[in-house]
Amino acid sequence: MGYKEIFDSLGLRQWCGDVATKKEILSLDQLLAKAKGEQVPDRAWWDIPFPSLDNLHEACNTIPRTRDMVKGIENGFLYIKDYLKIVLDPLTQPLSWILDGSLYVLVNTPWWILIPLFLLLVQYISKSIKLSLFVLTVFVFLAFIDHYSFAIQTLSVIFVCTMLSVIFGIPIGILMSKSDRVQASAIPILDMLQTLPTFVYLIPLIFLFSVTESKLYGIAIILYAIVPVIRLTDLGIRLVDKDVLEAANAFGMKPSQKLVRVEIPLALPNIMAGINQTIMMALAMVVIASLVSAPGLGVLVLRGIRNLELGVGLVSGFCIVLIAVLLDRVSKAALKQINTSSQ
Amino acid sequence: MSKKTKISIKSLYKIFGHDPASVLQFAIDGMSKESLLEEHGHILGLRNIDIDMKEGDITVIMGLSGSGKSTLIRHLNRLIEPTSGKILIDDTDVMKMDGIELRKLRQSGMSMVFQKFALLPHRNVLDNAALAPSIRGDSVKHCHEEAMKWIERVGLKGFEYHYPHQLSGGMQQRVGLARALTSNSDVMLMDEAFSALDPLIRTDMQDLLLELQKDLRKTIIFITHDLDEALKIADHLVILKDGYVVQQDEPQHILLYPNDPYIEDFVSDINRARVLRVRSVMTKTNEKGKSKFESDIEEDDTLESVISKSDGETNLLYRVVRNGKMVGKLHMKDLVKSLVPRHASQAGVRSNVAS
């Protein structure tokens, strides 16, 4: 008793083609058996295997093997790739320009201009001398051990990707908060983006764009990092006090006025929490994206792994931790500023 | 003097549920709230409401929680859409307004004060008070001038750059009041505006409202669950129960002639001497006759003040005057009698509600 008989009894033999005559070697088991000169023993009915593609193929030629299926998907992807490229390439080209431009500017600005500028920015955002001193210490340390330019590259990529995530994420979040249907269809996509192993993103992207283009890692980072800012914008706007919204309605606000004057300001603490998460996820991804030529500290980590240079890996890993703490502190300080001013 | 009717609600029904129109006829035919919920899964919010609100009056809508009073007030500016019925403001049907007209009505025709204040937490007092003109798109300077005027009027001068969370509840509601006044609307809706405040501050706010009303003569619709508050400020009192109007009249009249056991229970706990006024219990006459009057009292005096004037003596006769002219007489005996409710309730309102 096997799948062969089932196909026969269903009268599908014609459709399946005759398998009995074909003595093709399909699997390692059969190869081994043949090598040992054994006959493949007849299976008892309780040994019947799960009706997987491979097992069904054995009984019926027309059903493809799993490896044919995988090959088919690959061919399909390669087929549409060229057309996708025609559309996506020009659309995403600005991303390359922004990433490269930002890298060029930041790397070529002398350290004695850039570090004070960063400090001024941090001081302006956080209004905390202590935090500015911490940032200064980190930069001095990074520069002292000659990791300054790598760190700046990493920061440059994070800045650009976070900025774009915010620019696209907040409107998407607002749309989601306004319509339950948009929310219901967006949430599975967001879940997927968040749970997909980070390496898996890279596979289709590598085929779509060439590895030397900066937009490749730009897209990978943005797709990964945009999720929290979307989610928390949606949540923040949905959590806006219903009484205040009712008052806004009662005084005759237009929907656009409500959004700008009530909803976004009241959701701002949540949105800022989302931006903080987005920054941290961009940092996580920029390290992995060094596999596809993202510059920065990730390159050193990768070198450490590839060449088993333990010291290089450890030092650059520590630098990444420093950058992570720095970004987290600064963005949380900004969040705190917003919270105290709005309550 | 009969005042002009400013707002008129005509046979208004509101049913909550997935298809209110389908069960409307049952409600019109008088099916009870309970069976409507049990048999058709719809909740009756309001049933056959007819109220005329006069220009310049304070109309108080009173009822316990769940009686539909907050639902009712939200129909006036269509924050809630009725299932059927008409709402006329200055003879314009609110139900026929499109989005733009409705927004205009809310911006300049009607302002609202909320139980939970509902101020913008990220805006200071000045910006909060200036909300209505700023929505209309007036210049910032004009908005702030207008807002300052009313902030001073409600006694918040010096606090204009504070944020709501820095103010006490009473002060926040003053901002809410200033915000409503700044819109310069003829109609003000007050949804349990003072219910969240503690008793002393509540009394302050009631006095403030009455004082403002003396000058402004706005049409105010005031929601409350507190009978004392209702009797203090109402020109016209509407008592709501389970979504229908039990009785509506001048408050004095309701107090003396309650037409429903529910209201009798309600009013039985009231300090009648403080609420009732001489004009409601006096005998109307303008002939002096042979009676010997102890002295003159004003028709708007409360009974409490007359009692204190009589010093507990019950055998006195007073002459009641309006603007110096005699309009009636009042014997202390009648006064004392009126202090006892006609049917003193045995059970009290609470047991009635529980049943």
pLDDT of residue B53: 92
pLDDT one-digit tens code per residue, A165-192: 999 999 999 999 999 999 999 999 999 9
Q: Name A65's Cβ contacts closer than 8 Å, sequence gap at least 6.
A: A26, A53, A54, A57
Rounded to the nearest integer, the mean pLDDT of chain B is 87
CB neighbour class for A238 (10 Å; exposed up to 12, middle 13-18, buried from 19):
middle
pLDDT one-digit tens code per residue, A63-109: 888 999 999 998 998 888 888 888 888 898 999 999 999 999 999 99
pLDDT of residue A43: 64
pLDDT of residue A26: 60
CB contact under 8 A, B107 and A251: yes
pLDDT of residue A38: 64
pLDDT tier at A42, thresholds 50, 70, 90: low
pLDDT of residue A207: 81
Which residues on chain A are in Cβ contact (under 8 Å) with B116?
Answer: 243
pLDDT one-digit tens code per residue, A63-73: 888 999 999 99
> Using CB atoms, which residue from A250, A254, A342 is nearest to B112?
A250
CA angle B35, B38, B44 (to 5 degrees): 60
pLDDT beyond 60 at A23: no
Please report where in the chains the tokens 């799948």 appear, as a residue: A3
pLDDT of residue B2: 67
Which residues on chain A are in Cβ contact (under 8 Å) with B75?
Answer: none
Which residues on chain B are in Cβ contact (under 8 Å) with A251?
Answer: 106-107, 111-112, 131-132, 135, 179, 183
CB contact under 8 A, B114 and A247: yes
pLDDT tier at A218, thresholds 50, 70, 90: very high
pLDDT of residue B351: 45
Which residues on chain B are in Cβ contact (under 8 Å) with A247?
Answer: 112, 114, 118-119
- Give exposure, B24-37, as e/b (b: 16+ Cβ within 10 Å): bebbeeebebeebe
Distance CA A115, CA A107 (A): 12
Lowest-pLDDT choice from A17-31, A224-238, B84-98: A17-31
pLDDT one-digit tens code per residue, B19-54: 888 888 888 888 888 888 888 889 988 999 999 999
The answer to whether the CB of A295 falls within 8 A of the CB of A276 is: no
Scan residues 161-220 of B and list those with Cβ closer than 8 Å to A: 163, 165, 179, 183, 189
Summarize the confidence of residues A158-162 as an average pLDDT.
Answer: 96
CB contact under 8 A, A244 and B106: no
pLDDT of residue A229: 96
pLDDT beyond 80 at B161: yes
pLDDT beyond 60 at B347: no
Summarize the confidence of residues A278-298 as an average pLDDT.
Answer: 92
Which chain A residue lies closest to B181 (C-alpha atoms)? Answer: A251
Q: Is B83 an interface residue toward A (CB < 8 Å)?
A: no
Count of beta carbons in the 10 Å neighbourhood of residue B60: 27
pLDDT beyond 90 at A271: yes
> Using CB atoms, which residue from A249, A262, A268 is nearest to B120?
A262
CB contact under 8 A, B79 and A244: no
Count of beta carbons in the 10 Å neighbourhood of residue A338: 16
pLDDT beyond 60 at A21: no
Q: What is the ipTM of this complex?
A: 0.83
Q: Is A265 an interface residue toward B (CB < 8 Å)?
A: yes
pLDDT tier at B237, thresholds 50, 70, 90: very high
Q: What DSSP character marks residue B109? A: I
Which residues on chain A are in Cβ contact (under 8 Å) with B119?
Answer: 244, 247
